[in-house]
A = this chain, B = another copy of it.
Amino acid sequence: MNRIPTASDIEQAHERIKPYIHRTPVMTSSSLDELAACQLYFKCENFQKVGAFKARGAMNALLSLSREQRAKGVATHSSGNHAQALSRAAKIMGVKAYVVMPRTAPAIKKQGVKGYAGEIFECEPTLAARESTLAEVIEKTGAVEIHPFNNYDVIAGQATAAKELLEEVGGLDFIVAPVGGGGLLSGTALAAKYFSPSTVVIAGEPELANDAFRSLQSGEIELPSPPTSIADGLLTSLSDKTFAIIRELVPQIITVTDPEIIQAMRLIWERLKIVVEPSSAVAFAAVLKEKSKFVNKKVGVILTGGNVDIHNVGEKAV
């Protein structure tokens, strides 16, 4: 797709991916409502296929390719949930997925990709190495690149999470979503614009990777200064496609510290009894940080994923 997704594009994306994704539940908690002094509606994408919303965008991108396009497979560089999501979508469609990953990526992430029969190409852990290795793989295989967020089909797919939330909960004053590369955030902003124009979309971002916050201020895509936040899904910078949507539709990005992210994550684990990854807790941390902005409002919060390495849980955490 070569244009910013329209309402109809998002509706079609939703119909297209429905057989392959979960319609995830929306959870509430009276104790968290009390704490935040607002009504919270958590969209639980941690329960999504592959454990993250990324299953939506990747699936829509695969289904939007022509048979000829996808015949030679798809490729991406990712060390995170998009790699698994793309491998899964490719496996469903019966095509090859080629995934470039830094050799330092956790074993569990590599296993996840292999579990869906994705083929991994390891490279040095730098952006330059990732891009050049991906270029080589594409040159060699003829695969189509599916970028994790700078892709309108991916954006339309991610938009369906907010679409479902808006269908389930009427009259939301806000939806708060985390921002990394901006695929989820731009999709969420489009869904609100089309399906609930009175709902304001706000982003949460780690202070230690506040490039999107700075981009909104400067009006240009800023790069993250060496990013070290615990919210490891949010360390990438925006892209031209996501930034264009976000600067028009998202009025505010609230930055939160790593301790604030950890505190929000613990509250979600403890009160909702669900497992979410740190990146997932950033939006809720933003709500708690600017409490006065949300007081007495109906606030949707997108919990993006639940893929944490819980190896130490048991001895340490209980």
A residues sitting closer than 8 Å to B (CB atoms) are 25, 46-47, 51, 230, 262, 265-266, 269-270, 273-278, 306, 308-318
Contact = CB atoms under 8 A, between A and B. Distances in A.
Nearest to A314: B262
B265 A314 contact: yes
A310 B271 CA distance: 11
A269 B318 contact: no
Contacts of A276: 273
Contacts of A265: 313-314, 318
A273 B318 CA distance: 16
A313 B273 contact: no
A314 B266 contact: yes
Contacts of A318: 230, 265, 277-278, 308-310
16 contacts: A25-B25, A265-B314, A266-B310, A266-B311, A269-B310, A269-B313, A270-B275, A270-B310, A273-B274, A273-B275, A273-B276, A274-B274, A309-B318, A310-B318, A311-B317, A313-B317
Contacts of A51: 273
Contact of A312 (B230, B274, B316): B316
Residue in A270, A315, A316 with the greatest tally of chain B CB atoms within 10 Å: A270
Nearest to A277: B318
Secondary structure of the A side of the interface?
A: loop
A57 to B, nearest CB: 19
Given A274-B275, A275-B273, A275-B275, A316 B317 contact: yes
Nearest to A313: B317
Contacts of A25: 25
Nearest to A270: B310
A258 B154 CA distance: 44
A79 B230 CA distance: 35
A314 B265 CA distance: 8
Contacts of A270: 275, 310
Residue in A51, A230, A313 with the greatest tally of chain B CB atoms within 10 Å: A313
A47 B28 CA distance: 11
A81 to B, nearest CB: 13
A315 B262 contact: yes
Nearest to A308: B318
B317 A308 contact: yes
A269 B262 contact: no
Nearest to A281: B314
A152 to B, nearest CB: 29
B273 A269 contact: no
A317 B306 contact: no
Contacts of A230: 314, 318
A273 B47 contact: yes
Nearest to A309: B318
